[in-house]
Every structure is written in C-alpha cells, then in structure tokens.
Chains A and B, each alone.
Chain A
Amino acid sequence: MDVNEIIKPENKVYGKSPVLTDTVMHYCPGCSHGTIHKLIAEVIEEMGIQEKTIGISPVGCAVFAYNYLHIDWQQAAHGRAPALATATKRLYPDKYVFTYQGDGDIAAIGTSETIHACNRGENIVVIFVNNAIYGMTGGQMSPLTLEGQVTATTPYGRRTDLNGYPLKITDLVAQLEGTCYVTRQSVQTAGAVRKAKKAVRKAFENSANGKGTSFIEVVSSCNSGWKLTPVAANKWMEENLFPFYPLGDLKDK
C-alpha cells in the first residue's frame, strides 16, 4: 500500500494535542520536559478541563512552560510554587491547580513550601521533574545529585562528607498524612510515557475529589547538563538514576 493512501485525515491515530501551542519549545533536543508537557496537555484535553486548569510554573528551564500549554498560568518565585498553588486553589476551589517544578526548585530553595503544602493536604497536583542537577544554570549539583555524580560544581563527583546525601524528597512526602498519591515515573520509552500519563490523570482526578495532595516525580534526563547525547542520557538514567530512585507508586490511598 502506498504511503499516500495511508496519510489521510480519517486514518490519523496520533498527533499533537490542541492544548499545546505552536510555539517551538526552547528545550534542548531530547529534553524530557517536552514529553512531560505533552502528556499533561493530553490529560487536560482528554478530561476536557482546559478552561478550568491553572498551572504554576517554577524557576528553572520550565519557567517558560506558559508559552507551551494553552491554559492559565502563574509564575512563582523560586521554590514558592506550592505556596502559590495553595492560594490559587483556595481562591478557586473548582479549578484544577498543578505546580511544575524541578529538583532544585522543589528540594533546595522550596523544601519548606513543598513539605508544608503536602502536609496540609492541599488539593493540588505537584509534578516534580527530577534530573539530578540544576539544568538551566549549567549543570550544577542539586540536592538530588547522586553520590559520585560529576557536575559543574562537583568536578570530582559528589562527596557525602562534603556535600551531604541525595535528598529523596518523594519518599519524605509519602510519609505525610496530607498526601493521597505519591508516585515515581519516567518518560524515556513509549510504555513509560503511557504509565506516566495515567499517573497524571489520576492525580488530577484526586484533586477534583478533594483527596489531598498528589505528588508525581518524573525521573528525567538532562542530556546537555550531563554532557551526553539524548539517547545515551536516557540509557545513563536507566542505569544510574533508576536503581537509586526506583519507579512505581509509593503511596495510593
């Protein structure tokens, strides 16, 4: 069969979600951010909540997320996204409010906001993109950098006697009464993307049902920060990050 006979509107099975804008993303080739934006857009489209969703964008590479998803956005000061999400959700209780944060944002400067918002059980969704470094500023060590991992600020590898231990913030928030759903996902393969999408959908539904805070960690790659090609970065992530940050649900109540 000729390709031109297949490429017809009635045969289309997958394409770009209309919730995504036509703006070309500024992310590096192969960056996980683009994939995570896409699956959030697809969940919003499937649930029909485009008019009712408010995103809180962080400081970091994803600061420009408001250029890429056709929803309402607010931009928070560094680390303060859960506090801003708390206010937004309390003022507009019928809206779906989510934060989109990186590991430096959520686990360094924003640790207090993250833990207290989760402990209060605010009906928000926290999407936490963990690439184990500060990607935007040039690949410095973050709280979630692995022991021995080489970064711009730990050129001989992270030393626990000097830099402390990697902070498993997802495991921490799973212990808090306020969280209803805590999970760790990834987006490097098609299967992983589909699982992550289900997790995002469940989190949005929890938020509508007033069950508490849903916290989704997405273990991601930062190929430019790690100085690897996109495909090699995904492989490095599977070999090094997954053993320390194992995928799966940590809490589901």
Chain B
Amino acid sequence: MAMKGAIVVDRERCKGCGVCTANCPVQVVALTKEVNSKGYPMAYMAHPEACTGCTNCATVCPDSVITVYRVKV
C-alpha cells in the first residue's frame, strides 16, 4: 500500500541547518532561497508529490519544527 505524506514547517523557528534535507530519502525537503526574520533559510517541500511521510526529516530536526502528516492511498 502506498503512502502519501506532507510536512508543515514552523518557518519562524527553523534555523535552516539542512540536516533534514540530508536525511530525506526521496529528496523532497529543500531549503528556501528567502529567509525568515532571523535571517535563516527554511525547510520546505520542493517536490510534495514524492513525499511518503517517513518522518525522517522531523526525527532528526534539532529544533522540532517539522510536523508530518501521512495517508494511505
């Protein structure tokens, strides 16, 4: 059964460290070009259609800014 996932990033708390992007097995998560009020780039879904909701990005996030949602399709 296939899984479809999506993430929501708390943009103001994200520090743009990029550990999530390095841990995404399907290269969904990337960093934005724009920055938040602290000057950090933010994690976002560059390819939302490929997300499986595996929670790897959120598990390694040091600042707990990622919430993961998943449905069976």
Q: Which residues of A contact B (CB under 8 A)?
A: 1, 3, 5-8, 11-17, 20, 24-25, 27-35, 38, 187-190, 193-194, 229-231, 234
Closest to B15 in A: A29
Can you report 7 A-B residue pairs in the complex whose CB atoms are below 8 A from each other? A6-B6, A7-B69, A12-B69, A14-B67, A34-B62, A38-B64, A234-B19
Give the distance in Å from the alpha carbon of A13 to the alpha carbon of B60 in the complex: 15
Contacts known (A13-B55, A16-B67); A230 close to B17, Cβ less than 8 A: yes
Contacts known (A29-B15, A190-B23); A34 close to B69, Cβ less than 8 A: no
User: When the two chains form their complex, are residues A38 and B62 in contact, meaning their CB atoms are under 8 A apart?
Assistant: yes
The 4 closest A-B pairs by CB, nearest first: A34-B62, A30-B17, A29-B15, A29-B17
Closest to B17 in A: A30
Nearest CB of chain B from residue A230's CB, rounded to whole Å:
4
Nearest CB of chain A from residue B18's CB, rounded to whole Å:
5
A7, A29, A33: the one contacting B6 at CB < 8 Å is: A7
User: When the two chains form their complex, are residues A31 and B55 in contact, meaning their CB atoms are under 8 A apart?
Assistant: no
User: When the two chains form their complex, are residues B60 and A187 in contact, meaning their CB atoms are under 8 A apart?
Assistant: yes
Nearest CB of chain B from residue A20's CB, rounded to whole Å:
6
Q: Determine whether B73 belongs to the interface, using a CB cutoff of 8 Å to chain A.
A: yes
A8, A13, A25: the one contacting B68 at CB < 8 Å is: A13
Q: Which residues of B contact A (CB under 8 A)?
A: 4-6, 8, 13, 15-19, 21-23, 40, 45, 48, 53-71, 73
Closest to A189 in B: B23
Give the distance in Å from the alpha carbon of A230 to the alpha carbon of B22 in the complex: 10
User: When the two chains form their complex, are residues A15 and B62 in contact, meaning their CB atoms are under 8 A apart?
Assistant: no
Given A7-B69, A29-B62, 11 new contacts (CB under 8 A): A1-B73, A6-B4, A7-B8, A13-B68, A14-B67, A17-B64, A24-B13, A30-B15, A30-B18, A190-B60, A234-B22
Nearest CB of chain B from residue A225's CB, rounded to whole Å:
15
Q: Which of A20, A190, A230 has the most CB of B within 10 A?
A: A190
Contacts known (A1-B73, A190-B23); A35 close to B62, Cβ less than 8 A: yes
Nearest CB of chain A from residue B46's CB, rounded to whole Å:
13
What are the residues of chain B within 8 A of A5 when measuring CB–CB?
A: 71
Nearest CB of chain A from residue B72's CB, rounded to whole Å:
10
User: When the two chains form their complex, are residues B63 and A24 in contact, meaning their CB atoms are under 8 A apart?
Assistant: yes
What are the residues of chain A within 8 A of B66 when measuring CB–CB?
A: 14
Contacts known (A3-B48, A6-B69, A13-B70); A189 close to B40, Cβ less than 8 A: no
Give the distance in Å from the alpha carbon of A13 to the alpha carbon of B52 in the complex: 12
What are the residues of chain A within 8 A of B53 when measuring CB–CB?
A: 6, 13
Give the distance in Å from the alpha carbon of A31 to the alpha carbon of B13 in the complex: 14
Give the distance in Å from the alpha carbon of A194 to the alpha carbon of B19 in the complex: 16
What are the residues of chain A within 8 A of B54 when measuring CB–CB?
A: 190
What are the residues of chain B within 8 A of A11 when measuring CB–CB?
A: 69-71
Closest to B18 in A: A231
Closest to B21 in A: A231
User: When the two chains form their complex, are residues B73 and A15 in contact, meaning their CB atoms are under 8 A apart?
Assistant: no
Give the distance in Å from the alpha carbon of A233 to the alpha carbon of B66 in the complex: 22
User: When the two chains form their complex, are residues B60 and A35 in contact, meaning their CB atoms are under 8 A apart?
Assistant: yes
